[in-house]
Structure 1
Amino acid sequence: MKKWRVVVTDWEYEDLRYEQEVLHHDSIEFIAAQCRTEEEVIAVCRDADALINQYAPISAKVIAALDNCKVITRYGVGVDTIDTEAATEKGICVANVPDYCKDEVADHALALILGWTRKVALANQYVKNGVWDFKVAKPIYRLRGRILGLVGFGMIPQGLNEKVKPLGLEVIVYDPYVPEETIRRKGAESVTLDELCKRADIVSVHVPLTKSTAGMIGRDQFGQMKQEAVLINTSRGPVVDEDALVEALSGGLIAGAALDVLEKEPIRPDHPLLSMDHVILTPHVAWYSEESAAELRIKAAMGVADVLLRGAYPKYLVNKQVRPLLSLRDHT
């Protein structure tokens, strides 16, 4: 009996037990790889029926070399490692896991907002260096009554919107893909990106990385922000023009930033952000909890099982344009 070949292109977990449990079936051959380049992916995955991907590049070149692939799932919300257009043209389903860490990322964004506005990290640093003086944290402003601008209004920022309501923050939103009525129903105000930048005391970024969002927060946007504004980013590093951010911080155009993601990760040792007291950095950890990590891995594997074992579209199908090319049944 021919077996479906399922390849994990790369992974950074201690094991693959969740994936193996979901895909434990007589008709599946499970292969764990650690590919880093296009050539490595092609060598391992050329005759694979399904891929589970983390960071390895699944480019148009790679997809062109995949002879049997029917589905590619990704560990995460974003699918920027995968050329979805090339996959669609070849009749390959692309799936993600859009809901596995919605609470965690909203919680982390809130932690960065509170941590920066109350100067927690800065005060901690001074105390540990022997300085006991509240004035090192000046100025701190009352949170109630200030304006939080959400760039994007998907599941995560909608969750953050609910979490900040008891804090007395006014919420404004820029998201051209969400109806104004929906935003208003959630107790927020729909605005343009320019208006958000001008009015917000805190700008929190929550958009996926696409061709249209890369660098969308750049010099023009920083130039419109209040001098006391702070930028929060828990989405993708390249959504923010990092050079423009460094310039804005160095020149005093904005007051500070709290970032969980950067253009290139890990951060290089000589990066100017590392020497800035008014910047908080965390190592792309917003997604993580023990529960979310398990959920991510299970759901990524289930996307493969949907296609190979059930003959259905993955529950979290990204490239819906592939439907006319295939005869899979709807996910139930």
Structure 2
Amino acid sequence: MSVSSPRIVVIGDVFVPAHIVCEAIRLRNGGDTADIVAVDWTIPGGGSEIHALQHQVELHGPDAVDVPADLVDLATSADILVVHFFPVPARVFAGDAGPEAVIVARAGTENIDLAAAAANAVEVHNIAGRNAPAVAELTLGLILAEMRNIARADRSISAGGWRKEYGSRSAELAGRTVGLIGYGSVGRQFVKLISGFDVRVIVSDPFADPAALEADGVLSVGFDEVFEQSDVITVCARLTEKNTGFIGADQLARMKPTAYFVNTARSRLVDDGALLTVLQQGRIAGAALDVFDQEPLPIDSPWRGLDNVTLTTHFAGDTPESFTRSGALVADVVERILGAEGE
């Protein structure tokens, strides 16, 4: 950091309010942290609209969303900029002004123009694992809901019925093989939760530490093997340019007809049309999805008409605990940046 008393600008939102992050930073630094400015990005529609805008950012980059000019100017004035969902376009890094470091209060960095940041030697930090417990819990919940028809039974009762028959689409987890695509923070947390169900866990992740896999009691297998062997497949990978759509028709065709597919990660990891076709044709037992290529789902979306899926509204990581945890993790990063400055 080139300045002795850095200006920290925190732009929060309805999910991670700026004051939570600022309090965590001040607490970590004994209440004596330089100049901190806190403001929230507020828009009509609240959290639902911010989620919809973030979905556009994930698809098209930070310039896909118009943000208030005063917030862009404020971001440009920072030495250390902290954001959650707020988009940070290239113009924040242009010219002589602009932050020297950006901290994203979540694992994803899609809302930052990373190319512009790199071109201007700006460090971009993210915080991994802040919502891993929440995502892992929902993943397990979706598996149970889909395999035991919990949501379908609830819908039947709400509609005045008493549905009890689901054909062969009802199964216990015990004795099954559960396959994970990706083994980061969410995957590791999920394995802890599912360990009591007497299942065999296999993982496909070329970047995972073999020693960590062995210590967690999971078996590393090839990408195609996880589809061929699993009774339940859950996607826990991060989205990158290299793995967009890497789960396609070929992989889905390898699944057992009795298997279930679960995605609480990112929809664009999967060929949406291929998965829809497999489910429409009944070539797998079912699926549970928290993420979609188009959000919110249109009223006439074919996903709404399927009887072999459990759907939720992209809220896997949306818990108060996850958002509160963000403040402490951001404070860790600020502490490291300021500590490096003093070395």
State the TM bucket, normalised to the shorter chain.
0.7 to 0.9
Residue 206 of structure 1 deviates from its aligned partner by 0.6
| Inter-partner Cα distance in structure 2 for 1:158 and 1:149 | 12
- How far residue 165 of structure 1 moved from its aligned partner, in angstroms, is 2.3
Q: Secondary structure of 1:52's match?
A: strand
CA shift in 2, pair 1:134/1:87, >3 Å = same
- 2:152 matched to which residue of 1? 122
Aligned match of 2:61:
none
Residues in 2 aligned to 1:5 and 1:270: alpha-carbon distance in whole angstroms: 49
Please list every run of 5 or more consecutive structure 1 residues that lacks an aligned counterpart in the other structure: 313-327
Task: Give deviations 1:241-277, integer Å, cap 9, x for gaps.
Answer: 2222222222223222212222343333332212222
Residue in structure 2 matched with residue 37 of structure 1 by the alignment = 66
Shift of the 100–29 alpha-carbon distance from structure 1 to 2, 3 Å rule, reads closer
Partner SS state of residue 13, structure 1:
coil
Determine if contact 1:48/1:66 at 8 Å carries over to the other structure: no
Q: Kindly state the Cα deviation for residue 42 of structure 1 after the two structures are TM-superposed.
A: 4.1
Q: Which amino acid aligns with 1:119?
A: N
Alignment of 1:150 onto 2:157: no
In structure 1, what is the equivalent of residue 259 of structure 2?
229
Q: 1:267 to 1:202 in 2, by over 3 A?
A: same
CA distance in 1, matches of 2:233, 2:129: 23
Name the structure 1 match of 2:47: none
Match of 2:15 in 1: 13
Q: What secondary structure is seen at the aligned counterpart in 2 of 1:135? A: coil
* Distance (whole Å) between structure 2 residues aligned to residue 210 and residue 263 of structure 1: 15
1:315 paired residue number: none
| Residue 294 (structure 1) aligns with | 324
What CA deviation, in whole Å up to 9, does each residue of 1:68-127 have, x standing for no partner? 311111121222222435423422221122122222221111111111111100111112
Matched, 1:240 2:270: yes
Q: After superposition, what is the alpha-carbon deviation per residue over 1:270-314, rounded to whole angstroms, capped at 9, x for unaligned?
A: 32212222221222222233222211133235534543xx243xx
Distance in 1 separating the partners of 2:77 and 2:230: 51
Partner of 2:48: none
Distance in 2 between the 1:186 and 1:29 partners?
Answer: 41
State the superposition RMSD in angstroms. Answer: 2.8
| Contact kept? 1:123, 1:136, Cα under 8 Å | no
CA contact (8 A) 1:145 1:169 kept: yes
Match of 1:184 in 2: 214
What is the CA deviation profile of residues 142-173 of structure 1, one whole-angstrom value per residue up to 9, with x for unaligned ones?
32221111001122212222222221211111
Fraction of identical pairs, as percent: 29
- C-alpha distance in 2 between matches for 1:38 and 1:264: 22
CA contact (8 A) 2:224 2:251 kept: yes
Matches of residues 275-290 of structure 1 in structure 2 within 5 Å? 275-290=305-320
Distance 1:226 1:329 in 2: 57
Residue 58 of structure 1 corresponds to 88
Is residue 2:282 matched to residue 1:252? Answer: yes
- The answer to whether the 8 Å contact 1:38/1:58 transfers is no
Contact 1:2/1:27 (CA < 8 Å) preserved in 2?
Answer: no
Aligned match of 1:27 = 34
TM-score by length of 1: 0.83
Give the match's secondary structure for 1:134.
Answer: coil
The whole-number CA distance in structure 2 between the counterparts of 1:98 and 1:224 is 32
